[in-house]
Structure 1
Amino acid sequence: MEAWKSGLTRRDWLGGAAATAGVLVIPGQASARRIAASDRVNVAVIGAGGMGANNMAKLTSQNIVALADVDLAHVAEAFVDSKGAPKPEMQPLKTAYDRAAKFSDYRRMFDSRKDIDAVVIATPDHHHAVAAKAAMERGIHVYVQKPLTYTVREGRTLLELARRNPKLVTQMGNQGHSGDDGRRVVELIRGGAIGRVREVHAWTNRPLWPQGEARPAAVAKPASLDWDVWLGPAAVDWGYHPDYAHFNWRGWVPFGIGSLGDMGAHLVDFPVWALEPGSPTRVETRHSRWGGDDNIWDGRPPADLGSYPLANITTYQFGNAKGGPLTMTWYDGGLMPPTPPAMPTTARMNPDGGVLYMGDRGMLMHDTYGQKPVLIGDGVEARAAAVPVSLPRIQDGRDGHEMNWIRAIRGEEAISSPFSVAVPLNETMLLGMVSMRADQPIEYDGASGRITNVAEANRFLDREYRKGWAL
């Protein structure tokens, strides 16, 4: 595992200096095409239904040249409502998809289409890094849905590629990073509106999919689904079940990273951004029983991992945080932090999800995407009013996250959530899942990317790949 860390200095990793290195030279592969502000970008998509369709519906002003999806019948569902009537707002995308080249396997798409400038990757988590690396090695700009990668090693591999390819524009699909409210939250925290923050709580109502359950028996797959390609890099021999595809994969260990992977990219984003804590130094997870854990009562993962526990509480210690030691606690499965004594009765924690920052001069609370920030405490409003606007605003806010990527490709605007920002955030999230699988607290050295107190837990920073799908 040492090879993937050797080129990454502590300054690059913690400081986000991802665009300072030279261009990566890859024999036989193309470099990114120069695209002017007046040009339309040639965009492809991997995972064209579901969230991919939502992303691509905002990019119909560009040339949508190709799509790769394992189930075109599922993609077609994006264009109609529950009664089968066409959705007017999705018809421009349907027209674009009808004209685009279609593939089941994105590897074949990359091999045969040399006109792709940029690709949106909206697959299940276990495909993200493999698809992104293949694109980046071909000089293709990438927009990768959250979580950015399935493992820590994958994230660092993509960051290294981004460092060596500064002309490639990278974006993670955590759209709250482009929102006006979230950016104001960061300004207020950094501006001292609530004083020094030593404690943060983040929570979500996820999972909204099967989790904490035993693995179901395989059933016949839909005729339209290419199950072998859907499995892709996952080194398991699981047959199809609707509890995996198309939406329910997040809770199953070979395919997703649970609620923390789904919503941490939104909720953990703002405290990591605002407080600049660096890598966690210690992480511990407490959780309900693993799925299929009928005969194990001590909380240990079963030998044949199926679904993640239904709920967990993960505590992160940041011993090297910029403003001094910081504790951040994550809650999912509907669990929430206790109400602080100073919380007024009019300030209600949103059960769907939110973040609470506890400072020595007050508190700040907001919803999942940084929305609806609430200031709590004497004098906090006055101090907040004095904090200037210091972060650029993204055109159309959260709804402009995809077009921010396009404008950045054309050199019109700075990118919102590039891999230099997304990879450290993603790694923090992933370390919560690593501590869950380690079944004990882990101590982590972010500079070397190693767990220092439980040597065998380092295997969870990486994974095995199915033949033909290696990173």
Structure 2
Amino acid sequence: MATNEDGGVTRRDWLAGATATAGLLGLPGQASARRIAASDRVNLAVIGAGGMGAQNMSRLTSQNIVALADVDFAHVAQSFVDDKGAAKPAMQPLKAAYDRATKFADYRRMFDARKDIDAVVIATPDHHHALAAKAAMERGIHVYVQKPLTYTVREGRTLLGLARANPKLVTQMGNQGHSGDDGRRVVELIRGGAIGRVSEVHAWTNRPVWPQGEARPAAVAKPATLDWGLWLGPAPVDWGYNPDYAHFNWRGWVPFGIGSLGDMGAHLVDFPVWALQPGLPTRIETRHSRWGGDDNIWDGKPPADLGSYPLANITTYHFGAAKPGPLMMTWYDGGLMPPTPVAMPATARMNPDGGVLYIGDRGMLMHDTYGEKPVLIGDGVEARAAAIPVSLPRIQGGRDGHEMNWIRAIRGEEAISSPFSSAVPLTETMLLGMVALRADQPIEYDGASGRITNLPDANRFLDRDYRKGWEL
């Protein structure tokens, strides 16, 4: 399978097969983006202006921030002060930019009202990502979407279809490790054969660090500043507010987030998928602890009323079509970790916060989250690694330059780091782990058609229902 100049995966053949599958991908129209010169400032908007959105936007204050959409501006204001209420000096330029911008509660109204938006950062909970991105792209607006890119496989393929139909739109997923120097060196070393042929990969994280594996809490009064109906948006549930959902804790609840795999897979799974280019997985199985809301008699199946995801999962991916041979990748979350390989030296420590271990036939490579601190293990590995040249472009600012890389790409100054052409297949791989979790047994997957072949009923988990008025 070919690669783009930036190392992203080219998916022409894969997308062609997916397009032929009824219902998976619509026919997107053409959008027109304003031509922006290298000397121009980009007119920016943000959806989800606090929390992670504020972190993203704090790196973009050199641009013209014209509009904000958020369901709770009191929460946004907390991004500019510390726990004691004192102003954070580093965040004051962003506060000044926000103060000048037009504010909206509903991002749909923002797009209707502001025709001058060139680009938008989307940092909402997962269940809004695809709807906000699609609305922007259809208007010719460049998009930066936080990870995971989408909530479902169909949503990802829809966004990829839009990106391919509108090649002048610059798309970026917010997996900032993709722009890091260490991670790019990892890809070069794996591709260059430093540890030989890799047939086994293990990736792990300490997430969740939010409520998960728990029953749904009782509804309580919402903050007066929060528009709870807009926060729910496309989620087809009528759950009342609880702080265990918003503003930070939504990842572990089925209608809103994709759990630990959605949160950290975009960082950890990214590098083996990027380096080894195995295509989409052909078989996926998930083992897990109790679902949130299970009663005392547990048969392992999801409860009828899905609340929170299980606290811990082990997901095994088989890439049967990988070249030069099959690859198995195992994902661990909830604090679980792979066993220590016998050949691992006592001086090499597997970071309990998260990491990836590649096992090749000539050695091993291990790195932390975001591809950082790579460690080479085995006789002769260091010498082979030293001879492997730099081949991938480095991103100005590394991890911290991920947002400005998007701006520079919009202005035609450099290649984009994590476009949808590579972010969608990565996200689909991650999401298939959640599909296997919901199916509660191994699934066989045909990536060309985008269909589960052994359990036809499980194909419903590739899509989702939407609240009326919020359809994709």
What's the TM-score, normalizing by structure 1? 0.95
> How far apart in 1 are the matches of 2:95 and 2:35?
28
> How far apart in 2 are the matches of 1:148 and 1:14?
21
Q: Which residue of 1 aligns with 2:300?
A: 299
Asked if 1:262 is matched to 2:251, the reply is no
1:13 CA drift (Å):
6.8
Q: Which residue of 2 aligns with 1:4?
A: none
Asked if 1:452 is matched to 2:453, the reply is yes
SS at match of 2:366: strand
Matches within 5 A, 1:5-404: 10-12=13-15, 25=29, 31-404=32-405
> How far apart in 2 are the matches of 1:300 and 1:376?
40
Superposed CA offset, 1:267-318 (max 9, x none): 0000000000000000000000000102441110000000000000000000
Q: Which residue of 1 aligns with 2:22?
A: none
Counterpart code for 1:200: V
> How far apart in 2 are the matches of 1:323 and 1:247?
42
CA contact (8 A) 2:29 2:162 kept: no
Counterpart code for 2:146: Q
Superposed CA offset, 1:387-425 (max 9, x none): 000000000000000000000000000000000000000
> How far apart in 2 are the matches of 1:122 and 1:341?
42
SS at match of 2:330: strand
Asked if 1:437 is matched to 2:403, the reply is no
> How far apart in 2 are the matches of 1:144 and 1:228?
22
CA contact (8 A) 2:17 2:449 kept: no
Counterpart code for 2:294: D
Distance 1:196 1:14, change over 3 A: farther
Q: Which residue of 2 aligns with 1:19?
A: none
CA contact (8 A) 1:13 1:424 kept: no
Counterpart code for 1:57: S
CA contact (8 A) 1:64 1:97 kept: yes
Counterpart code for 2:355: G
> How far apart in 1 are the matches of 2:403 and 2:12?
30
1:9 CA drift (Å):
5.5
Asked if 1:424 is matched to 2:425, the reply is yes
CA contact (8 A) 1:52 1:121 kept: yes
1:12 CA drift (Å):
4.2
Q: Which residue of 1 aligns with 2:408?
A: 407
> How far apart in 1 are the matches of 2:81 and 2:136?
31
1:71 CA drift (Å):
0.3
> How far apart in 1 are the matches of 2:297 and 2:452?
26
> How far apart in 1 are the matches of 2:420 and 2:188?
21
In the alignment of these two chains, the number of paired residues is 454
Counterpart code for 1:145: Q
- Runs of 4+ in structure 1 deviating by more than 3 angstroms, as ranges, are 11-15, 23-26
CA contact (8 A) 2:252 2:259 kept: yes
SS at match of 1:243: coil
Distance 1:205 1:14, change over 3 A: farther
CA contact (8 A) 2:15 2:448 kept: no
> How far apart in 2 are the matches of 1:457 and 1:372?
39
CA contact (8 A) 2:288 2:313 kept: yes
> How far apart in 2 are the matches of 1:136 and 1:25?
10
1:31 CA drift (Å):
1.2
CA contact (8 A) 2:444 2:454 kept: yes
> How far apart in 1 are the matches of 2:29 and 2:465?
27
Superposed CA offset, 1:99-146 (max 9, x none): 000000000000100000000000000000000000000000000000
Counterpart code for 1:245: A
CA contact (8 A) 1:296 1:302 kept: no
Counterpart code for 2:40: D
> How far apart in 2 are the matches of 1:299 and 1:49?
37
> How far apart in 2 are the matches of 1:24 and 1:441?
33
CA contact (8 A) 1:311 1:335 kept: yes
CA contact (8 A) 1:9 1:447 kept: no
CA contact (8 A) 1:282 1:316 kept: yes
Superposed CA offset, 1:22-65 (max 9, x none): x9645xxx610000000000000000000000000000000000
> How far apart in 2 are the matches of 1:34 and 1:443?
44
Counterpart code for 1:420: S
> How far apart in 2 are the matches of 1:296 and 1:394?
52
> How far apart in 1 are the matches of 2:278 and 2:193?
16
1:323 CA drift (Å):
2.2
Counterpart code for 1:99: R
> How far apart in 1 are the matches of 2:462 and 2:293?
24
Distance 1:94 1:413, change over 3 A: same
What's the TM-score, normalizing by structure 2? 0.95
> How far apart in 2 are the matches of 1:130 and 1:155?
11
Q: Which residue of 1 aligns with 2:8?
A: none
> How far apart in 2 are the matches of 1:363 and 1:336?
17
SS at match of 2:65: strand
Counterpart code for 2:283: R
> How far apart in 2 are the matches of 1:9 and 1:294?
46
> How far apart in 2 are the matches of 1:125 and 1:273?
23
CA contact (8 A) 2:173 2:423 kept: yes
Counterpart code for 1:423: V
SS at match of 1:199: strand
SS at match of 1:107: helix
SS at match of 2:226: coil
CA contact (8 A) 1:258 1:308 kept: yes
Superposed CA offset, 1:59-84 (max 9, x none): 00000000000000000000000110
> How far apart in 2 are the matches of 1:414 and 1:352?
31
SS at match of 1:59: coil
Counterpart code for 2:248: F
